[in-house]
């Protein structure tokens, strides 16, 4: 079920601030959009169905946080989320992917998400069932078995000839079984090797189909059909008790999951809470003037195919029909060669909220290096700790790294915060290579060390274009 709890816009903003520096306007817009979804679910019908999501276009150069904002938002909302690139879609009738495939992919992700949640819920039951199967293998019950392993590892519990009458002793059998159960839980049987019968993951023939736009999921549908015609085969595997326990537990979970219930919830969650992040939407915008010819025709065709999906349409998937009326679309693009007004007017109207993300400067880079929970400095410190080296960055070294990143962005290509990754790699290149053989346990990065590592590259613009 979709959680009835939701972050307030201020709480969402605070959570996004943990990972993303700056861009307050963009974070504010997505925080409001997320809260509006919660508000819509509490509006009584039939008005609820009339409230459409306010889709967003984020405009800004690469590396300023557009994708990260959308990704973190989906994590907070626990919503089905997919990131797609607008430039990979083609107009209906051309070879390639059609725009409806993004909705089908979103449904597949939602099914996997709900299935994992269901597995977590039934994990205890599956573990108990797997434990019983392990005990049946370790201590075979009934007259059909010849012997069972005793606590000492030998076959100390011999069963009579199955043709002779057997005196059953339920109390004794239960007592022995419980002894083995305790040994299994305590790990005393971990060294035993047993033979288990498991279902093969795939037993249907592979079918590959080269298709045109709109039919690329036919291969998946045919394989699903074959999987029902050809039942799964059993295979016997020899493995240690812990490995057998884990494999059996997974098989038990697959049996216990009600896929009809999972698919029903996944379809509902997709319709009510799905988020599609449409990256590089500027690549399908006509570049103004000169009429529609050549590539412009194809770009406009993709826009026209995208329009009904954004407006609200019913898309057929292998799991069922999905309405896109309330899926939230967040589009983004640099718009260097075009502008949002170059999109067809109908599509512009379906993205009422436009937010501009500004380029990042030295102060933002310093904050990106140090403040977020997944800050680059913290990552490299943790990596060096695995080698027994305490890595320390002085404040002036961090400022120097940020200043060099800004300088290279200005003199070559503007790639935003992604520049920090390349600069950090060059600064720590020697240390990363020699860390496993260092005799010192403490390494301090100073501003002088940063300049020494990068001075030649920064001076040579042609070299920095390729290395940084």
Per-residue pLDDT of 138-155, as tens digits, reads 776 554 444 444 444 444
Q: Under 8 Å CB-to-CB from 393, ≥6 apart: which residues?
A: 377, 381, 444, 445
372-389: average pLDDT: 92
Range in 190-194, 229-233, 390-394 the model is least confident about: 229-233
At residue 155, the pLDDT reads: 41
The band of 171, judged by pLDDT with boundaries at 50, 70 and 90, is: low
325-333: average pLDDT: 91
The band of 290, judged by pLDDT with boundaries at 50, 70 and 90, is: very low
Q: Which tens digits make up the pLDDT trace of 343-353?
A: 888 888 899 99
Tell me how far apart the alpha carbons of residues 186 and 425 are, in angstroms, rounded to a whole number: 46
Tell me how far apart the alpha carbons of residues 360 and 394 are, in angstroms, rounded to a whole number: 22
Q: Which tens digits make up the pLDDT trace of 114-131?
A: 999 999 898 889 888 888
Tell me how far apart the alpha carbons of residues 69 and 65 are, in angstroms, rounded to a whole number: 6
392-420: average pLDDT: 89
Percent of the chain with pLDDT over 90: 28
What does each C-alpha distance from 10 to 17, 30, 40, 286, 329 come to in angstroms?
10, 11, 18, 38, 22
323-342: average pLDDT: 88
At residue 214, the pLDDT reads: 46
Q: What is the mean pLDDT of the chain?
A: 80
304-327: average pLDDT: 91
Phi, psi of 324 (to 5 degrees): -100, 10
Tell me how far apart the alpha carbons of residues 193 and 246 are, in angstroms, rounded to a whole number: 14
Q: Which tens digits make up the pLDDT trace of 49-94?
A: 899 888 999 998 888 888 888 888 878 878 899 988 888 876 555 5
pTM: 0.75
164-179: average pLDDT: 61
Query: What SS3 class is residue 276?
Result: strand
Tokens representing 134?
């392990």
342 secondary structure, DSSP code: G
At residue 219, the pLDDT reads: 54
Is it the case that residue 39 has pLDDT exceeding 50? Answer: yes
Range in 51-65, 250-264, 430-444, 449-463 the model is least confident about: 449-463
The band of 412, judged by pLDDT with boundaries at 50, 70 and 90, is: confident
151-178: average pLDDT: 51
Q: Which tens digits make up the pLDDT trace of 5-15?
A: 578 999 999 99
Q: Which of 1, 50, 67 is nearest to 277 (CA)?
A: 67
Q: What is the DSSP string of 237-279?
A: EEEEHHHHHHHHHHHHHHHH--HHHHHHHHHHHHHHH-EEEEE
At residue 288, the pLDDT reads: 58
At residue 207, the pLDDT reads: 46
Q: Which tens digits make up the pLDDT trace of 207-258?
A: 444 444 445 555 556 556 555 565 667 778 888 888 888 888 888 888 888 9
């Amino acid at each position: 079920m979709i959680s009835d709890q939701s972050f307030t816009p201020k709480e969402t903003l605070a959570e996004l601030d943990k990972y993303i520096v700056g861009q307050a306007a963009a974070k504010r817009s997505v925080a409001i959009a997320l809260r509006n979804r919660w508000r819509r679910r509490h509006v009584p019908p039939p008005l609820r169905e009339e409230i459409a999501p306010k889709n967003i276009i984020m405009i800004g150069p690469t590396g300023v946080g557009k994708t990260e904002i959308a990704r973190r938002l989906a994590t907070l909302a626990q919503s089905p989320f997919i990131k797609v690139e607008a430039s990979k879609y083609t107009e209906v009738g051309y070879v390639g992917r059609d725009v409806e495939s993004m909705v089908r992919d979103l449904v597949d992700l939602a099914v996997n998400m709900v299935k994992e949640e269901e597995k977590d819920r039934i994990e205890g039951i599956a573990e108990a069932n797997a434990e019983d199967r392990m005990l049946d293998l370790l201590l075979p019950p009934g007259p059909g078995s010849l012997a069972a392993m005793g606590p000492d590892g030998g076959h100390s519990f011999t069963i009579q000839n199955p043709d002779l009458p057997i005196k059953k002793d339920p109390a004794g059998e239960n007592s022995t079984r419980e002894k083995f159960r305790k040994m299994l839980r305590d790990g005393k049987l971990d060294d035993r090797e047993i033979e288990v019968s498991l279902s093969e993951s795939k037993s249907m023939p592979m079918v590959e189909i080269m298709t045109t736009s709109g039919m690329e999921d036919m291969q998946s549908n045919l394989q699903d059909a074959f999987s029902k015609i050809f039942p799964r085969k059993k295979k016997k595997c020899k493995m240690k008790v812990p490995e057998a326990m884990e494999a059996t537990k997974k098989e038990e979970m697959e049996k216990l999951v009600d896929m009809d219930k999972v698919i029903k919830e996944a379809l509902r969650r997709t319709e009510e809470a799905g988020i599609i992040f449409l990256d590089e939407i500027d690549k399908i915008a006509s570049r103004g003037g000169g009429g529609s010819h050549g590539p412009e025709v194809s770009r406009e065709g993709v826009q026209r195919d995208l329009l009904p999906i954004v407006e609200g349409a019913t898309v057929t998937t292998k799991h069922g029909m999905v309405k896109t009326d309330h899926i939230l679309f967040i589009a983004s693009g640099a718009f260097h060669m075009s502008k949002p007004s170059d999109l067809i007017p109908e599509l512009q109207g379906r993205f009422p909220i436009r937010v501009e993300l500004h380029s990042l400067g030295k102060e933002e880079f310093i904050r990106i290096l140090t403040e977020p929970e997944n800050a680059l400095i913290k990552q490299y410190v943790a990596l060096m700790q695995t080698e027994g080296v305490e890595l320390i960055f002085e404040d002036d070294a961090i400022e120097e790294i940020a200043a060099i990143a800004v300088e290279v962005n200005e003199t070559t290509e503007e790639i935003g915060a992604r520049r920090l990754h390349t600069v950090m790699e060059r600064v720590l290149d020697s240390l990363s290579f020699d860390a496993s053989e260092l005799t010192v346990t403490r390494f301090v990065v100073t501003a002088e060390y940063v300049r020494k590592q990068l001075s030649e590259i920064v001076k040579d613009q042609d070299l920095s274009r390729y290395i940084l």
